[in-house]
Structure 1
C-alpha cells in the first residue's frame, strides 16, 4: 500500500466515523452507544514541522551517526509495536501482518514528515483496546471458579500474537480472573470487587477515547529517537512541563520516578531525601496499584496513564497521600498500604551526611568515617551570584571532612550507592579534595573534539585512607568521581559495577529552530533534501505549544582513556547483591552507545598498595563465606531472583494463598535472622515500620565495606586486623 493510499484510507475512516456518529445521534433505535466507537486520529499541522526539526537536529548534533534507512525503519517499527503492545495481548496476528507493509517504509515517511503510517497503526491499536474493554466489562458479570487448577501467563512478551479474537478472549478472561483474585485476596468483598473492576475497565475505555494526536506523535517520535540511542527522547508540550518540574527538584510529591509496565505504575527510582526514601517501605520496581488522598477513598489506578497517576500523587506540601503497593516482582503478594507526607525535595534533603562506624572493642578499635552522598548537587542561582553563599556537594563534604579529621577517624568511606549523578562541576570539584591537581574527566563531542576537565586546586583536603562504595544505581557524575579515584589509585572502589551511563544530553526547544524564529536559529533538513538542505519553516497559524528534544551530544571518558559508557566502573572488591543486576544498567538498554577508548590524559598515579588490596579482597571473601549475616542475605537474594524469573501465576485460590503465606514466612524468617546478626531487633508481620530504622540489606553492605577499608589500612600499615563491628 502506498503512502497516498494510507492517507486516503485514513480520510475514509474519519468520514465513516463521522457518519456513524451522526447516525447514533439521529436514530434512537441504534444499539451501539457513542462510547463504543473509536474515531480515528490524524496528524496535526505542527507535527510535520516538529518532525522536520527533530530529524534535522539529530542529523546535525547527535553524538551517534545512524543513517535513517530500511534497517533503522525496521527497528523503529518493532519498537513502536512493542511500546503499544509489549505483552502481546492487544493486537491480533492479522494486525501485525497488515502492519508489515510499513516495516521498511517508516524511514521514507519520516524523511517526508509523513505520519500517516504511525497513526494508522495507532488507530488500529485504539480499536483493539476498545474491544478488550468491552469484553472485560461483559466478562466481570460472569462467575469465576477459583477451585480449578489453571494458570495465568502474566508475562507474554516472548509469546506470539494470537490469531483469533476467541484466543485473545481466553487470555483476557484469565487476566480478569487474576484481577478479581488479587482483589479478593486483598480482603475485598464480591460487590466491591465488581465495582472496582467495572470502573477499571470503563476507565480503560474512556482514556482510550481521550487519546490526543499529540500522544500518538510523542509515542512514535520516541520509537524513532530511542531506536537511535536510549537517552534521546521527544517531550510533548505537557511532558516538557513535567520534565521542567522534575529537573528543578522542587517537586511536592513522594520523591520517586515512575514508569509503566503491563498496566501497572512501577517505581523506577527512589530519590534520596524524599518521603519515599525516608519511609524505607518503597523500593525500585514496586508496583503502585492504588492512590488515596489523606483518609479518602483508595482510587484504583491499574491501567491509568502515567501522567494522570503522577498528577494524582502530587499535592500540597504537608498533605498525606496513601499508596496501595505490590512489592517488587511479587505479583501474588498481598498489597501493602504506605502512608506518606508530601514534601518538597530540596537540595538540603539530598545533602551529604556523615556517620562513624566503630570496629572492634576495647583498645583494639578502628573508626571509619562514612560520607553518604545521595546526589551531586549544586545551587545554580547561588553559583552565579557574587554575594550569595555557595551551597553544593564539595563545600558540604569539605566541612564534613574537617569534622571527621577532628574526630580522628582512621579512614573515610564515601557511599555513592543509588547516586544517579547530578552536577558534573561538583564531581570534578569533589575529586579535587582528594588529589593535588590534574585531569578528572575527558569529554568527546559529536564533532570528535576532546576536552579535558581538570581540578586546578593543588590543595588536598583529605590525604588519608579512602574507599568509595558504589552499586548499579551509581551513574553519570558518580562514575566520573569513582573512575577518577580508581585511575589515580587514590582509593579503593568497593561494591558492584556501576550503571554505565557515560553520555551527555542537552535539551532543544523545537520552536526555537523553526524558520523564522525569534532567536534567528535555523536548521536545515539535509536528510530529506541533500547536502544543502531546506529550512524547517514555521507558519503563522500554527499553535504556540511545541515540544522539546533531549539529545545526546557527547561522551565521557576516564583519564585512563576508557569510557564509563556501557561498562561502567568495575570495583576493586566486589560485593554480593540482593536483587541481581543482570537486566539493569546501560548495557541492558537496546541501542546504547558502545564502550570506547581514547588516548589517556597525563596524570600521576597515587600510592594505593596493590598487595594490600589483594589481601583485603581475600579477607573479604573468607569473611562473607562464614558470615551468618551474609548467609541469610544470600537466602533473601535467592528468593527475590526466583520470583523475578516467574512468568505464570496460579489461579487456584488455595495454591495462591499457600504460596503467598510460605513466601512471606520465608522472607520474614531470613530477614529477622539477618537483623539479629546485625544487632537489630527481629520483627513480626504485624509490626509497624519504623521510618528512622536502617534497612538491614543496605546496612550489611555498608558494614562490610567499612571492614574492607579497615583490612586495607591494617595490611598497608602493618596494623592488627579487626574483624567485628561494634553494635
Structure 2
C-alpha cells in the first residue's frame, strides 16, 4: 500500500505550511503560468466553492493573517515592523489574486526568507561557538506562541531563540546524549534546514500563497502544484509502496493523522494517530535523518520505498508526557491488497445467567469496490457490501443473537457502498442527502426491496470513523434500526472535486452531506447513543480541530420509516453498561487516561529549562501514567511494569487473554447489544 500523505485533513496545505518555514530563495518572480493560475483559483473560489465566498477587503485581511500563519505561525522570525512594512497587503490580496499581480507577495516572502536564513545562520554560529548553558535557573519556555504579539526587536527574538536552543540541548541531554553528540545533532538539524531553505524556488512561494488563499475558505480546499497533482493521482490509485499512513504537518513536526486499514503501519501496531515523527532511517540500522522542520513532501519521500525494505521512524508518541522521550519503531514497507481491507467477522460468546449467548462482530476497515472488475461487467466483483453480506449469512447460520458493525478507524471510501450497505438492514429508503454549491439537494438511497438482516444491530464508531462511515452510522441511528456505540465521529461531511488549472489543480469543496433527518455530519460528526472513553484525543484529531472548517447546519428532513425506538431503552442500557464498566479494568483505565491527557494538555503550556525541575516534572507525570497502567494490569492479573518506558515500548496485544483496551470496546459493544436484544425480544 502506498504512503498516502495528502488526501485528508488539509495535509497538502499543511505540507506547504512547513515548506514555507523551511525553504528560501533569492528574489524570485512569479511566472506567467502562476499569474494565470492565480486568476483561475480566484474564479474557482468565487463561483465554484460550496460556500458563498466574496473576495474583497474583508477577505484580504483574513488571507493576510493566513499568510502570516503559514510563514511564521510561532512569531519566531518576523518583527512587528516587518508586518507593518507589508501591511498594504491586508487590503490588496484580493486584487493580487484576481489580476495575477503577485510581485508584492513574492517580495514579502523574500523578506521573510532573509529573516529565516539569518536566524538559521545565527543558530549555527551559536552552536559552533560552543553550548554552555546553565540549567539551574528558573527560566521556562512557552511551547506555543501563536497568540503572542510580534516582537519589536532582534534582541527580543534572540532571547526567544536562546531559550529554544537551550531547550533543544536540554531535551537531548535528558535523552542521554553526550555534549559532543548534542552539538553535532543540533548543528545537523539547523544546517539541514538552511540547505533546504537555499533550494526553494518560485514554485514554492506560489504554493505558499495558494495555501494561505485556499485555507481561508475551508481545510479541504487546496491548490496542488503540477508535482503534487501527479503524486495525488498515484496515491488515489494506491500504487505506491510505503507504510500506509496518512500524514499532516503540525508546526515543525510531521504528525500521523490516521493509518490505512490493512497497511504495514496498521498491522505492526507501532504507530498511532497523533504520533509525531522526528527522524527517519533506512534499513535495520544506520544514520537517522532529522526531519523536524522538514517539509511534508520531503518526509514522505524519505518514508516511501520498495516493498520488503525497512524504514525506521523516531517518534514522539501521542501520549508522551515529555517530548524528550522519543522512541524508534521499525516498519517493513509493503503494498496493501484488497484482501487486507476486506470485511471480516468473528463471534463473541458471552455468559449470562448460566447460559451462553453469541454476538457477531463484522469489522469494516474501509468502503471499497473493485471498480475495474465492476466496470468490466464481472458478476463476482469484490465490494464492501458484497463481502459484508457473505459475513451476515455466515453469522446467521451460526445463530448469533445480534450483529455489531465495527466501523472504528474506517475513514470512508466509496459512497455507493455506504448506500448499499445500509440497504442490507432496511427495506428500501433514503440514506443520505447531498447539497451542492447552488443549493440543490440530491437524495441517495437503497432501491432494493427487502433486507438481509432484521435482527438486533449496533454500530461501533470512534473519532477516526469518517465520511462514508458517518453516513452509515447516522442512517442506522435515524432509522432507529440499531444502536450507535463508541465515540463522536470525525465530522468530515464535505465533498471535494479535483479541477484542472492551466498550472496545477485545485481540490474544491463542492457539496455537503446531510443525514436523512436533515442534520449535517460536517464538523459535529455523529454522536453515539452510548459513549465510551476516547482512545484518540478529540482535541488533536477531527474536523473540529481544523481551522476554518465549514460549520454544522441542517436542511429539511426527508420521509422515512422508523424501524424501532432504541431511545426508550437508553437509560436502562446506560445503567447496565456503567455497572459493568465500573468493574472493568480497561474501561476504568481509558476513562482515567482521557482525564489525565486533558489535564496534562491544559497544564503544559510552558516547559522548565531547569534540569532538575524538568526531570521532576517529567518523572511526576510518568509516575501518574505508570500507576494508571499498573492499576489496569493488576486488575487483569498481569505483571506490573517497573518503568513507564516499558509501557510505551510494549507491543500491542492481540489475544483476548491479554485484553488490550481496544478489545474491551468490542466485548462491551457485544454486551450492550445483548442487553438490547433481550429488552426488545418481546416487542
TM-score between both structures, scaled by the size of structure 1 = 0.85
* Separation of aligned partners in 1, 2:61 and 2:144: 24
Q: Aligned residue for 1:163?
A: 152
**RMSD value, Cα:** 2.3
Match of 1:465 among 439, 444, 456: 456
Distance in 2, matches of 1:38 and 1:217, equals 13
Which position in structure 2 is the counterpart of 1:716?
A: 680
Q: Pick one of 609, 614, 632 that aligns with 1:656.
A: 614
After superposition, the C-alpha distances for 1:150-176 in whole angstroms (9 at most, x for unaligned) are: 222221112112111111111111111
1:130-154 superposed Cα distances (whole Å, 9 cap, x missing partner): 1110111112233122233322222
* 8 Å Cα contact 2:491-2:542 kept in structure 1: yes
The yes-or-no answer on 1:559 pairing with 2:516 is yes
1:621 counterpart (578, 600, 609): 578
Which residue in the other structure is 1:422 paired with?
A: 413
Q: Output the CA distance in 1 between the equivalents of 2:155 and 2:142.
A: 17
Partner residue of 2:488 out of 492, 497, 520: 497
Note the C-alpha offset of 1:422.
0.7
| 2:616 corresponds to 1:693 | no
What per-residue deviation string (whole Å, max 9, x for no partner) do you get for residues 621-657 of structure 1?
A: 3443454443332222222223323221122222323
Provide the C-alpha distance between the structure 2 equivalents of 1:664 and 1:508, rounded to a whole number of angstroms.
49
- The residue matched to 1:228 in structure 2 has which SS? coil
Mapping of 1:259-658 within 5 angstroms?
A: 259-294=248-283, 295-328=285-318, 330=320, 331-360=322-351, 363-387=354-378, 389-511=380-502, 546-582=503-539, 584-625=541-582, 627-645=584-602, 646-658=604-616
Offset at residue 482 of structure 1 (A): 0.9
Q: Deviations over 1:215-235 (max 9, x none)?
A: 111111121112112211101
**Partner Cα separation in structure 2 for residue 705 and residue 392 of structure 1:** 25
Structure 1 residue aligned with 2:133: 144
- Number of aligned residues: 650
In structure 1, the partner of 2:75 is 88
CA contact (8 A) 1:154 1:175 kept: no
Q: Deviations over 1:440-466 (max 9, x none)?
A: 111122222222112111131111100
Distance 1:641 1:189 in 2: 34
Q: Summarize the Cα distance change of 1:406–1:575 in structure 2 as closer, same or farther, 3 Å threshold.
A: same
Corresponding position: 1:176 with 2:162:
no
Gaps of 5+ in 1: 1-35, 512-545, 720-727
Partners of 2:49 and 2:437 within 8 A in 1: yes
What secondary structure does 1:253 align onto?
Answer: coil
Does the 8 A contact of 1:434 with 1:461 survive in 2? Answer: yes
1:77 equivalent in structure 2: 64
Residue 229 of structure 1 corresponds to: 218
Matching residue within 31, 35, 52 for 2:39: 52
**Gaps (5+ residues) in structure 2?**
1-22
Q: Secondary structure at the match of 1:258?
A: strand
Tell me the secondary structure at the aligned position of residue 344 of structure 1.
Answer: coil
CA contact (8 A) 1:615 1:715 kept: no
Aligned residues of 1:231 and 1:505 also touching (Cα < 8 A): yes
Does the CA-based 8 Å contact 2:589-2:629 persist in structure 1? Answer: yes
1:519 corresponds in structure 2 to none
Q: Secondary structure at 1:414's aligned position in 2?
A: strand
Whether the aligned pair in 1 keeps the contact of 2:424 and 2:452 (CA below 8 Å) is yes
The CA distance in 2 between the partners of 1:692 and 1:629, in whole Å, is 13
The alpha-carbon distance between structure 1 residues 619 and 567, as it changes in their structure 2 partners (threshold 3 A), is: same
Aligned match of 1:725 = none
SS of the residue aligned with 2:273? coil
Contact kept in structure 1, 2:242 and 2:333, CA below 8 Å: yes
CA distance in 1, matches of 2:592, 2:544: 27
Q: Which residue of 2 is the match for residue 669 of structure 1?
A: 627
Quickly say closer, same or farther: Cα 1:279–1:684, change in 2 above 3 A. Answer: farther
Distance in 1 of aligned mates of 2:375 and 2:528: 36
Report the counterpart of residue 112 of structure 1 in structure 2.
99
Change in 2 beyond 3 A, CA 1:503/1:711: same
CA offset digits 1:113-133 (Å, max 9, x no partner): 111232122112111111110
Q: Say whether the 8 Å CA contact 1:507–1:550 is kept in structure 2.
A: yes
Contact 1:278 1:692 (8 Å CA) reproduced:
no
Match of 2:236 among 224, 232, 247: 247
Q: Specify whether residues 190 and 582 from structure 1 end up closer, same or farther in structure 2 by C-alpha distance, changes over 3 A only.
A: closer
Tell me by how many angstroms 1:260 deviates: 2.1
How many angstroms does 1:341 deviate by?
Answer: 0.4
Q: Check the 8 A contact 1:374/1:416 in 2, yes or no.
A: yes
SS at match of 1:133: helix
1:18 maps to which residue?
Answer: none
- Closer, same or farther: CA 171–346 of 1 in aligned 2, 3 Å: farther
Measure, in 1, the Cα distance between the counterparts of 2:446 and 2:202.
Answer: 49
Between 1:397-406 and 1:358-367, the stretch displaced more is: 358-367
Question: Following TM superposition, by how much is the alpha carbon of 1:389 offset from its aligned partner in structure 2, in angstroms?
Answer: 3.5
Give the Cα–Cα distance (whole angstroms) in 2 for the partners of residues 334 and 249 of structure 1.
34
The question of whether the paired residues in 1 share the 8 Å contact of 2:30 and 2:202 is answered with: yes
Structure 1 residue 667, shift from structure 2 partner: 1.9
Can you list the C-alpha shifts for 1:15-41, whole angstroms capped at 9, x where unaligned?
xxxxxxxxxxxxxxxxxxxxx995222
CA distance in 1: counterparts of 2:297 and 2:537, whole angstroms: 30
Q: Structure 2 CA distance, aligned partners of 1:226 and 1:169?
A: 31
Aligned counterpart, 1:39: 26
Separation in structure 1 between the aligned mates of residue 423 and residue 324 of structure 2, nearest angstrom: 48
Contact preservation (8 Å) 1:73, 1:104:
yes
CA contact (8 A) 1:38 1:130 kept: no
Deviation at 1:66, TM superposition (A): 0.9
Give the secondary structure class of the aligned counterpart of 1:554: strand
- Maintained 8 Å contact 1:267/1:287: yes
Pair 1:184–1:261, CA change in 2 (3 A): same
Give 2:52's aligned residue. Answer: 65
The Cα of 1:561 is off from its aligned counterpart by: 2.0
**Superposed displacement of residue 702, structure 1:** 2.6
Q: Distance in 2 between matches of 1:308 and 1:718?
A: 61
The alpha-carbon distance between structure 1 residues 627 and 202, as it changes in their structure 2 partners (threshold 3 A), is same
